[in-house]
Amino acid sequence: MTENRVTFSCGNLSLEGISSVPEEEMPFAAVVVCHPHPLFGGMMDNNIVVAVCQALSQVSIASLRFNFRSVGGSQGAHDNGIGERDDVAAAISFVSSMERVDQSRIGLCGYSFGAGVALELAARDERVKALALISPILSYDSPIERYVKPKLLLWGSEDLALPAVDLKSFTEELPEPKQYKVISGADHLWWGYEDRMGSRVAAFFADTLNLPTQG
C-alpha cells in the first residue's frame, strides 16, 4: 500500500485526507472512512478510523480517510452533520476519480457521528455499494430501516451510547443483506479492540466489494 496526503474540493472548500492505494495494477475497490464528532476531538487520525484503513489494506482495498470541514487543515465551519454530507459526497467523487479504482465498487464506512453522516449520504447516493456503521446512534424510523444494499452494523457491549432501541429485534427486522455484531467488552471508544473491529469491517467489504458488481 502507498499512503498519500491529498486535498480535494467540496464546493468552495478544500478538504484534506489520506489515501491508501494497493500496489496492484488491476482495478480495485475503495472505501471512504468518516471520523467521529469534530466537536469532541474527532478527526481522520482517530484510532478506529486508522484501524479500519489499515485492515482494508490487508485485503487490497483502497481507502480514503479525511477531515470533515473545520477539522485540521480542512476549510469551513462545523455544520451539525448537514454540510458534512456534502463532504462525504465530495470524498466519494475524489476516490472514484483515482487511477485504477473501480467506480462500481465503492464502499462507505463511518464511526459514531461519522456513521450518522455516512448513513444519510448512502441512503441517497447510488455510488455507495456497501455501508459499514461502527457505533451508530440509531433510533426508530432511521434510514437504515429502508436501506437495501449490503450493510454491517457494529457496537461494543459496553457502549453507553447504544441506541435506545431493542438491538436484537431492531437489527433482525432490517432488510437484507445485512450483518450485525455486538462485540463483548468493547465500549464506544474501542480501545484495545481496534484490530478485532477493523478485521470485521475489512472482511465485510472484501465479501461485498471485491467481486465486480453487475449493473
Looking at the domain assignment, is residue 214 inside a domain? no
CATH of the domain at 98: 3.40.50.1820
Q: Is 194 helix (H, G, I), strand (E, B) or coil?
A: helix
Tell me, what's the pLDDT at 212? 53
In Å, what is the CA distance from 116 to each residue of 7, 12, 101, 192?
Answer: 23, 24, 25, 23
Looking at the domain assignment, is residue 215 inside a domain? no
Looking at the domain assignment, is residue 98 inside a domain? yes
Gap between the Cα atoms of 2 and 205, Å rounded: 19
> Residue for cell digits 455484531?
181
- Residues with Cβ within 8 Å of 6's Cβ and at least 6 positions away in sequence, in order, are 16, 17, 18, 19, 64, 94
Q: Which three cell numbers stand for residue 192?
A: 484495545
Tell me, what's the pLDDT at 214? 40
Tell me, what's the pLDDT at 166? 78
Residue ranges of the chain whose pLDDT lies below 70: 163-165, 211-215
Q: Over the stretch 21-45, which tens digit does the pLDDT of each residue have?
A: 988 778 999 999 999 999 999 999 9
| Residue range(s) defining the domain that contains residue 44 | 2-209
Could you tell me if 37 and 22 are in contact, meaning their C-beta atoms sit under 8 angstroms apart? no
User: Cβ of 49: how many Cβ atoms within 10 Å?
Assistant: 27
Could you tell me if 65 and 50 are in contact, meaning their C-beta atoms sit under 8 angstroms apart? yes
Looking at the domain assignment, is residue 118 inside a domain? yes
Q: Checking DSSP bridges between strand 2-10 and strand 13-21, what pairing results, if any?
A: antiparallel
CA neighbor of 206 nearest in space, from 109, 92, 86: 109
Tell me, what's the pLDDT at 80? 97
Looking at the domain assignment, is residue 23 inside a domain? yes
Q: How many domains does the chain have?
A: 1
Tell me, what's the pLDDT at 99? 87
Tell me, what's the pLDDT at 167? 81
Looking at the domain assignment, is residue 194 inside a domain? yes
Q: Which three cell numbers stand for residue 112?
A: 459514531
Looking at the domain assignment, is residue 9 inside a domain? yes
